Structure formats: C-alpha cells, structure tokens
C-alpha cells in the first residue's frame, strides 16, 4: 500500500513538471541550473586557497552567472580556483544561450528526437512566434556561439600575449570572450579600467557585446542576407533601434562626462569618444566597463538606468524589457501623437496584441524595479539613485554596480537574487508562469468611456 502511495506521489510530481506550461518549465529549469551551480561553487575544490565562500554568496554568484548579470559580492579572480572559474564559465554559457538550448544540443548529439512539447519550451526560451524551424535555429545558435567565442578567444589571447605567458593569455582570452559575448560582465583580471584607451581591446569587446545583444535570430538573418537579400521586420527593428540607442548613449555619456576629472576628464578626446562608445554599447546588457561607475555624474548614472531598463533584444544573451518592446512603445506613442489608427514600423502594421504585450512587459518590469528599489531603500539605508541603479542593473542583467552590491545585507542580496532571476527569464515569462490556465471569455461588457489627459 505504501509503495503504491509513494509511486503515486512520484507520478504526481513528474506530472507537475511534464505538464506545466512552457513558462513554468523555463522557471523550474533555470532554478535547477542555479541550484546545481550553487552546490558546485560550495565545493572546496572551487575555492582558491586562503579564501572562504558562504552558501549565500555562492547562491548570489551562481545566480549572477546563470542570469549573465555580472554583479559580484566576491572577487572572481582571487576567490575561485580554476575549477570554480570553469563552473562559472559553464553557468555563463548555459545562461547566455539558454539551458534548454544546451540540453537540446546534447539530445541531438545522442540521436534523441525532440518532442512537440520540448519544441514549445524551446519556442518560449528563444522568444519565437512558432515552433517551425526551431531545431534548425538551435543548431545555428550553437554554431554561431562557438564560432564567435572562438574568434574572440583568439583575438583577445593574441593581444594579452604581450602582457602574459601564452597559456595564461589563452585562458584569459577564453574566459573573457565567453563572458563578454554572453553579456555577463564577469572578469578575472580585476576590471578593465587599464584598457580604457586600448583601441584593440575596445573594438574587439564592442563587437562581441553587440553580437551577443542583438540576438541569434538577427545573426541568422545577417548571415543569410547575401543569399536572400532581405531582412525580417524583427531584424530591421532590432538593428535600427539598437544602433540609435548606442549612438545616442555614446553622445550623451561623452557630453556629460567630458569635464569630469574623476572619469574621462584626464583622457584625450579620442579616448573619451572610445570609452563613451564602449560604455554605451555595454549598456545593452553587458556590464563590462572601462570606467569607474561610482565616479560618473548623477545625470549620467540616471541616464544609464533608463538604458539598462531597455536592455538587449529578444532571443539574445541580454536582459531588460528588450529593444523591440521599446520600439513598439515608441511607435505607439508616435501613432497617438499623429492621430493615426494603426501602429506602423518599417511599413508593417503592428497588431494590437503585440502592443498590449509590450505594455504588459513594460509595466511588469517597472513594477519589479520600483518595488525592489523601495524595499532596498528601506532595508539598506543607501542613497536612492544608488539603489535604483543597482536594482535596474540586476533586473536588466547588466552587471554595472554603483558600489552597493558589495555592501548588501543578506536580505538585500536575496532581493537582488530574485531580481536577477526575474530579469533573465523576462517579465512576461514570469507573469505567464504565475498565471492560471487561460479561459476564454464567454461574454463581453458594453464599451465604456473614460476621459484622459
């Protein structure tokens, strides 16, 4: 009798996992990835000699790596052994391209067929509209990631061979190529401030960040462009709005920090332009910085908050509400101002469902960031802008820090862990995961009138 009860209990647990919505499967899978990463980082072999790591700090670090955020409470290069750094690298890779992508790749390698249900989860994981061609896209994601990271490894290693032995340069090249491409912000050299005027390092890093932030769908479109001679609407929107955001960000940072002696004031004009462009590109969700964030003016920091909230693109290694959400909201605003009926982008009409989804994503994101900022402002007793900056960085999985993360209480770290968790999965995925099964309305209320403005 007890055996039957036990088997029935196991069956119910399996049913909860296998019959959950795709969004719930993603939440569960990501939580499992963080849990495994935490346990591995807690192992003595993961910690460098002479250092210690509490369970809570291991959990924070694993969440930061898996969510490709880059916020740290301990120094990565000195606290972790080579094994621990390898664990972080695997978490960054899994978090960047998606754990579902990795598991699918392994399944394909051993000859396992991908079920329709698994395709639905993959569709949600990669922000696709349908399951058509999803396995083919997975193969492209893996191929593009490996090729880009390999190229980045070689380019960075060749540069660092001037400063360190070849073996160490290759290892540093690999770690940072994976970290920068996946927009994680982790480093093992104590920061990139010494490279603020290094043209080679800046250009290689900017390219890696950009390729990681535009998303694999866009990369696929760009690679196929010479053959097809066309780009999808999605790619047009991502490339154009990402380009505008990076350009505007670089100009504003350049102007705001031009006379700031604590940041770019002592640099040449060329170095100021380079560092501003690097910082603006990194705002797409990378968190890799050649400037001291705490030394930036408050106006610059607040502007960065807005840019971090927007984040990267759907199907990319970055977070935030996404560039496409910002694009649709901008187009909807222009439509209202012009008094038009339809929301248009690149001579294509955007459906009302997409506009409603964009509004939902933005408001859920705002609610998460504002709620966390209020809570941390109360619990941490820190300046408001510093708290807002840190919470937005965590939600956007950016990894820039204004100095608060290293001073957080255990409660504060827990709030930031939840923020990074929600930021990587995305506000819409979280909302749908918590949603009960959708029911079709059997009736509609009469239309009402409300005065606005």
Summarised one tens digit per residue, pLDDT across range 251-292 is 999 999 999 998 888 899 999 999 999 999 999 878 888 999
Residue 325 CA to its chain's centroid (Å): 15
Is residue 194 included in any domain, yes or no? yes
Per-residue pLDDT at 387 exceeds 90 = yes
Calpha distance 126→138 (Å, rounded)? 9
Which structure tokens are listed for 98?
């998606």
Is residue 1 included in any domain, yes or no? no
- What phi and psi values does residue 47 have, to the nearest 5 degrees? -105, 135
Q: Between vectors from CA 242 to CA 139 and to CA 197, what angle results, nearest 5°?
A: 100
The confidence band for 23, taking pLDDT boundaries of 50, 70 and 90, is: low
Dihedral over alpha carbons 376, 316, 345, 392 (to 10 degrees): 10
The confidence band for 95, taking pLDDT boundaries of 50, 70 and 90, is: confident
Residue 309 Cα distances to 164, 225, 277, 376, angstroms: 37, 30, 18, 18
Which structure tokens are listed for 32?
């499992």
Per-residue pLDDT at 305 exceeds 50 = yes
- Kindly state the helix (H) or strand (E) to which residue 350 belongs, with its residue range: strand 348-350
3-state helix, strand, coil in the chain (%, to 5): 70, 0, 30
Residue 175 Cα distances to 15, 33, 180, angstroms: 39, 20, 9
Q: Which residues have CB under 8 Å from 383's CB, separation 6+?
A: none
Is residue 441 included in any domain, yes or no? no
Q: Between vectors from CA 188 to CA 187 and to CA 191, what angle results, nearest 5°?
A: 60
Is residue 11 included in any domain, yes or no? no
- pLDDT (0 to 100) of residue 409: 92
Is residue 9 included in any domain, yes or no? no
Calpha distance 439→433 (Å, rounded)? 15
Q: Could you tell me which of 11, 221, 187 has the C-alpha nearest to residue 89?
A: 187
**Helices 134-160 & 99-109, crossing angle to 10 degrees?**
110
Is residue 14 included in any domain, yes or no? no
What mean pLDDT do residues 164-191 have?
A: 91
Per-residue pLDDT at 177 exceeds 90 = yes
Asked if 320 contacts 423 with a C-beta cutoff of 8 angstroms, the reply is: yes
Q: Which of 3-12, 46-55, 241-250 has the lowest mean pLDDT?
A: 3-12
pLDDT higher for 17 or 415?
415
Residue 331 Cα distances to 321, 341, 351, angstroms: 16, 12, 12
Question: What's the count of helices (H) and strands (E) in the chain, helices before strands?
Answer: 19, 2
Q: State the chain's mean pLDDT as an integer.
A: 83
Is residue 251 included in any domain, yes or no? yes
Range of the domain at 49: 19-434
Which structure tokens are listed for 154?
């070689």
- What phi and psi values does residue 183 have, to the nearest 5 degrees? 55, 40
The confidence band for 2, taking pLDDT boundaries of 50, 70 and 90, is: very low
Per-residue pLDDT at 118 exceeds 70 = no
- pLDDT (0 to 100) of residue 132: 58
Q: Could you tell me which of 106, 112, 78, 292 has the C-alpha nearest to residue 188?
A: 78
Burial 63-88 (b: 16+ CB within 10 A, else e): bbbbbbbbbbbbebbebbbebbbebb
Calpha distance 291→257 (Å, rounded)? 11
Calpha distance 204→156 (Å, rounded)? 8
What mean pLDDT do residues 348-364 have?
A: 88
Task: Please count the structural domains in the chain.
Answer: 1
Is residue 345 included in any domain, yes or no? yes
């Amino acid at each position: 009798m007890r055996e039957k009860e036990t088997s029935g209990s196991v069956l119910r647990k399996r049913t909860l996992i296998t019959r959950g919505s795709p969004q719930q499967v993603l939440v569960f899978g990501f939580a499992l990835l963080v849990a495994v990463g935490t346990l591995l980082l807690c192992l003595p072999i993961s910690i460098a000699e002479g250092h210690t790591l509490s369970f809570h700090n291991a959990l924070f670090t694993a969440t930061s790596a898996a969510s490709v955020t880059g916020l740290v409470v301990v120094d990565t290069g000195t606290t972790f052994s080579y094994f621990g750094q390898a664990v972080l690298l695997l978490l960054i890779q899994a978090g960047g391209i998606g754990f579902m992508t990795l598991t699918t790749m392994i399944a394909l390698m051993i000859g396992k067929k991908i079920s329709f249900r698994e395709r639905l989860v993959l569709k949600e994981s990669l922000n696709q509209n349908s399951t058509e061609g999803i396995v083919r896209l997975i193969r492209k994601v893996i191929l593009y990631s490996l090729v880009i990271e390999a190229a980045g490894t070689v380019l960075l290693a060749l540069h660092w061979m001037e400063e360190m032995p070849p073996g160490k340069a290759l290892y540093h090249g690999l770690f940072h190529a994976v970290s920068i491409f996946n927009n994680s912000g982790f480093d093992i050299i104590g920061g990139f401030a010494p490279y603020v005027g290094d043209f080679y390092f800046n250009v290689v890093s900017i390219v890696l960040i950009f390729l990681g932030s535009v998303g694999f769908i866009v990369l696929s479109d760009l690679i196929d462009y010479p053959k097809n001679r066309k780009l999808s609407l999605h790619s047009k929107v991502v490339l154009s709005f990402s380009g505008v955001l990076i350009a505007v960000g670089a100009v504003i940072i350049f102007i705001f920090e031009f006379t700031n002696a604590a940041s770019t004031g002592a640099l040449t004009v060329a170095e100021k332009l380079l560092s501003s462009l690097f910082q603006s590109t990194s705002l797409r969700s990378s968190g890799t910085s050649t400037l001291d964030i705490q030394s930036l003016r408050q106006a610059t920091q607040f502007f960065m908050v807005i840019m971090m909230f927007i984040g990267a693109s759907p199907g990319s290694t970055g977070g935030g509400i996404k560039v496409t959400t910002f694009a649709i909201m901008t187009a909807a605003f222009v439509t209202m101002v012009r008094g038009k009926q339809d929301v248009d982008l690149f001579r294509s009409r955007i459906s009302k469902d997409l506009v409603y989804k964009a509004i939902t994503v933005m408001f859920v994101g705002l609610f998460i960031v504002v709620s966390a900022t209020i809570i941390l402002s109360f619990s941490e007793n820190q300046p408001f802008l510093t708290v807002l900056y840190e919470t937005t960085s965590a939600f956007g999985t950016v990894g820039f820090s204004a100095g608060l993360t290293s001073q957080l209480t255990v409660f504060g770290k827990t709030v930031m862990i939840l923020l990074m968790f929600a930021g990587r999965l995305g506000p819409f995925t979280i909302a749908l995961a918590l949603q009960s099964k959708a029911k079709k309305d059997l009736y509609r209320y009469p239309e009402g009138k409300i005065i606005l403005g």
